[in-house]
Chains A and B, each alone.
Chain A
């Protein structure tokens, strides 16, 4: 066992990420089960049954960030996947194809060999949940059919009217029961309800530490740059039901608090303006987007995206767990979505908003115009939007991004001067 006691949060993050992949590879070797899971599908059931988990969205983001997306995107392309579909899905379906070829021929395809991302094993089954999009239903249908494996579906119906009605929670809770039955069948043993309760409690502790980090961006100046959350997100996705996430987040929150006490802030020099970033990161150009803002003296202190994993509920109460998985802001009506974002913006004491018009993600793009408009009426903050994509590097133009954030920066400056002149 590696001694993790003296590791920094950053080291812990790297260590546990690798550890999770290693666990999955080990499980595969030992003939144990591996499951691929949607990023906000309930992890509690599989973890309670000791199934090793892989999260394709995170894996795809890793491939994107390491500039390895084009190779696998090409494989998906050859399989007939349209360039217009989500690039997370295409990266993963392309990668799956390579793994399948390897399994069938015993030979490692060159593109797999060359791929900069962590090697992952093929799944024995998959679990998906549409709380962030219905694309995850289509994508996982295809995984299940291509690999001829079971698919556990947790369907959380779009909440067109808030608050969430009890009958919706009942439907979701019934699916939890069904998922347990399916798991018992897949694993060939009874579901471990005692462990399940412990896993739920663990999940709550992880979420609490995660929220602790996120809330630190409310300080002005901020000890936390939102871009760090993009990185740490990997563990709230992949390990929230294990103590890996709790340990790492606690460490990070402690570090940040310590920095805060010492007057060390995220922005070296003087943070001038604070922005909210709405949407997913542009993984292949993460550096460019980060530096672009930094060079203007801007720091990101608001992002609703990490808040997707604010999955707090009462352990032992299935209805409460159902609610936490369905209330995610992009699974609710526009009014609620705006309300959540409004809190993110004011919580981060932001001066402006950047909308990522994501070519991959229809759900996170098609309401941007209305969202921006409603928020601006409410808070009078300037905003811009730019065209991007979370993993397909071809759909982002650095020059357009720069121009847009410069414009935002100008508007934020004027706003601030206006305020100080008053």
Chain B
């Protein structure tokens, strides 16, 4: 196996087995893990405590126990998270960080069924005001205090600023990776691309950065080959399960950029510089745009995606619509109209983590590929 293949396979196996990643971390450092619910929690605070932040993104699952606690019209990802809470999947976490940027998460934050303590905080939504930064820095101060108590460690400003640098370094490496991946679709297919990104959620970030940097330089050393398939940008919460990505691949699609909450939205901006780390983290949220969960009365998401399509020379956008996700559903009619006006083609597919039959997605992707 080439070095490139080895790295890809290692990252893929980590992204497929978070539990083992947690166990390995414990063995190495003696420290446990803290869960991080979507979206945009300041993971850096956990990192600065020396614990492993672990992303909670549900998983492909049939829903049974969760039915008693959530009506069928709750989003697919939270159905699966609830199911796993009830199965005790998250009970080894020392704590869970819980942001509440949508109505569903507000409710879910009040009904954690696992045994780990939950630390809830609220993102301000009038984001462009200075007062919002102050508010969020206060929320983060409380998050830090609670984490210190639960984990029994002191989280200093110094450590926190250091962790922010570590994360920014990772973000930079990730941006480079997604740009490079666009040039090597024959090597980085949609599923591998996703796994390499997803591994971030289960690894100490500097380790992930080191591997991705190596991967990047391996990629760069290879010749760019002509790609005969079609190039797409993905948008939405996430593009799972893997079957969806395989369908894209099987139909000759390459993912050349993404606007997914689980992927690029997380690293398209760095945490800005400054001295007070909590304020810096708060400011990140102020500068962040183009996400259904970050209120924006100008709705810059559509124009941002159009720039992305242009910049990555994509042929189309694939809308990965999380089933029953109202924030994303509200954005759709607006950017869809903007796409139509600009002549950008888009395909709407539904993301359902419960389903095991992908016939409909297959058919849609197939006919879309014929249309392009």
Contact = CB atoms under 8 A, between A and B. Distances in A.
Contacts of B336: 80
B138 A138 contact: no
B322 to A, nearest CB: 11
Q: Which among B100, B108, B111, B122 has the greatest number of chain A C-beta atoms within 10 A?
A: B122
Interface in B101-122: 101-104, 106-111, 120-122
Interface stretch (B175-183, B309-317, B326-334): B326-334
Contact of B332 (A82, A157, A357, A362): A82
B296 interface: yes
Contact of B129 (A165, A178, A367): A178
A281 interface: no
Nearest to B321: A82
A369 B121 CA distance: 23
Contacts of A365: 71, 73
B324 interface: yes
Given A81-B333, A369-B111, 20 more contacts: A80-B337, A81-B329, A82-B332, A84-B329, A85-B330, A134-B103, A141-B295, A141-B299, A142-B330, A145-B298, A150-B297, A153-B297, A157-B123, A157-B125, A160-B100, A167-B135, A362-B74, A363-B103, A365-B73, A369-B68
Interface stretch (A59-67, A168-176, A285-293, A413-421): A168-176
A15 interface: no
Interface residues of B, number: 51
Contacts of B362: none
B330 A158 contact: no
Interface in B283-329: 292, 295-299, 321, 324, 326-327, 329
Interface in A360-405: 362-363, 365-367, 369-370, 387
Interface string B319-362: 00100101101111110110000000000000000000000000
25 contacts: A82-B329, A84-B73, A134-B125, A134-B327, A135-B103, A142-B330, A144-B297, A145-B298, A145-B334, A151-B297, A153-B297, A155-B132, A158-B106, A160-B109, A160-B110, A165-B138, A168-B135, A174-B131, A175-B126, A175-B129, A178-B131, A365-B71, A366-B107, A366-B108, A370-B110
Nearest to B123: A157
A404 to B, nearest CB: 15
Contacts of A89: 330
A362 B107 contact: yes
Interface residues of A, number: 50
Contacts of B68: 369
A249 interface: no
Interface in A111-168: 130, 133-135, 137-142, 144-146, 150-151, 153-155, 157-158, 160-161, 165, 167-168
Interface string A88-126: 010000000000000000000000000000000000000
A296 interface: no
Contacts of B296: 141
A161 B109 CA distance: 11
B70 interface: yes
A366 B134 contact: no
A155 B101 CA distance: 12
B73 A333 contact: no
A273 interface: no
A84 B326 contact: yes
Contacts of A145: 297-299, 334
Q: Which among B131, B139, B297 has the greatest number of chain A C-beta atoms within 10 A?
A: B297
Contacts of A151: 297
A158 to B, nearest CB: 5
A359 B298 CA distance: 28
Contacts of B32: none
B69 interface: yes
Contact of A362 (B69, B103, B129, B134): B103
Contacts of B327: 134, 138
Given A157-B124, A171-B132, A363 B107 contact: yes
Given A160-B122, A359-B73, A366-B74, A134 B101 contact: yes
Interface string B195-233: 000000000000000000000000000000000000000
A142 B333 contact: yes
Given A80-B336, A175-B131, A369-B68, A155 B125 contact: yes
A86 interface: yes
A337 B324 CA distance: 25
B235 to A, nearest CB: 14
A160 B135 CA distance: 14
B137 to A, nearest CB: 9
Contacts of A146: 334
Nearest to B299: A145
Nearest to A177: B131
B134 A158 contact: no
A70 interface: no
A154 B298 CA distance: 16
Nearest to B68: A369
A334 B111 contact: yes
Interface string B262-301: 0000000000000000000000000000001001111100
A140 B297 contact: yes
A190 interface: no
A170 B131 CA distance: 8
B86 to A, nearest CB: 13
A244 B129 CA distance: 35
A170 B136 CA distance: 12
A130 B135 contact: no
Interface in A172-223: 174-175, 178
B159 to A, nearest CB: 24
Given A142-B333, A157-B135, A133 B103 contact: yes
Contacts of A10: none
A374 to B, nearest CB: 11
Nearest to B125: A155
A32 interface: no
A332 B279 CA distance: 25
A164 to B, nearest CB: 11
Contacts of A133: 103
A79 interface: yes
A363 B327 CA distance: 13
Contact of A357 (B71, B121, B295): B71
A155 B107 CA distance: 18
Contact of B329 (A85, A171, A363): A85
